Amino acid sequence: MSSLNLDDFTDLIERPDGGVRRAAEERRERRVVPPGALGRLDDLGEWLAAAQGTVPVRPVERPRVVLFAGDHGVAELGVSARPAGGAGQLVRAVLEGGRPVSVLARRLGAPVRVVDMALDCAPETLPADVVRHRVRRGSGRVDIEDALTLDEAEAAFRAGMAVADEEADSGTDLVVLGDVSVGGTTPAAVLVAALCGTDASVVTGRGGEPIDDLAWMRKCAAIRDALRRARPVLGDQLQLLATVGGADLAAMTGFLLQCAVRKLPVVLDGVVSAACALVGQRVAFRAPDWWLAGQASGEPGQAKALDRMALEPLLDHGLTVGEGAGALLALPLVQAAAALAAELPERPERSGEAAGEETEPEAADTGS
């Protein structure tokens, strides 16, 4: 029996400040730009003001990219374009600056933090600060066995919470959340299908590096088999993550919920972060108010999860690469929304308007 009581999050997580949001809306009405002229940027600025609890909104100055990493045993079935156990190579490429997220992060001034939860590689091949939270070497094959033991799922969940606390305590003011995994979209699709009550074919996508039709069929079959194992444990979210999730997914769920507790806004990337957010919503219904959907990845499971949480992606550029790159592209949009909300001047008040005075119409000059 786990000692972690997920029900506590329902009491700990509050919604962003509604009074502050109303004040931000009133400020918008007084600005020189007509209401509605900035489209979703207005909504973004008001959401951020409510999350920060202040008007005018503060600029986003200390963003951070946080990537949870792991290998998944289901990749042995050939459900991914990458070889099973290959996530460690991706992590090294990210750390060395050779992945899209690395390039974008340098350009946008957002440091990247990678957290190894279940990579299938020797820990000494990676920096100590990357591997210190590792729970196990690779997660189990979810179509025939549990991804984790319940104790491992709790350890991973708590590790995610600890990372959220570290980020909040260090002054991070916005997190871009992503994953570095091989096979991770398969358990993510299982979680979405289980929580939304849909069939495997509805949520099976092509992955970050698109797979061919035969691989898609293998992936769909694996999700179908894992879904049968998921349904009996739907009432216990930690057990669900242990059964058909993985150490990286359990950690991301704990991270998302603790960020909501700490009032730290998060931008979600692809289907893996969306699936974890969906589990988080099942734990605490107010938690999604602290999250933004950065991009539409094209994965049907992501679309299903975001629809369930009423989150609309900020961008749709067709990026499937994962690793937080698509969500990171949304960072300048959020920063622009904050700048516009804070820095646009208000309309000058006309004479007598401030005091609520009514002006008499001038008498017409009759020339007499």
Q: Which two tokens stand for residue 6?
A: 């997920």
Based on the residue annotation, tell me whether 362 is a catalytic residue of this protein: no
In Å, how far are 93, 145, 225, 255, 364 from 222, measured between CA atoms? Answer: 29, 11, 5, 27, 84
CB 185 within 8 A of CB 173: no
What single letter denotes the amino acid at residue 31?
R
Residues 220, 191, 304, 257, Cα dihedral to 10°: -150
Phi then psi for 64, rounded to 5 degrees?
Answer: -145, 140
CB 239 within 8 A of CB 150: yes
CB 244 within 8 A of CB 142: yes
Could you tell me how far CA 159 lies from the centroid of its own chain? 17
Of residues 124, 323, 357, 358, which has the active-site annotation?
323
CA 119-319-252 angle, to 5 degrees, is 40
Strand partners of residue 181: 70
Residue the block writes with tokens 């990579």: 119
150-170 helix and 237-244 helix, angle to the nearest 10 degrees: 110
Tell me the catalytic residues. 323
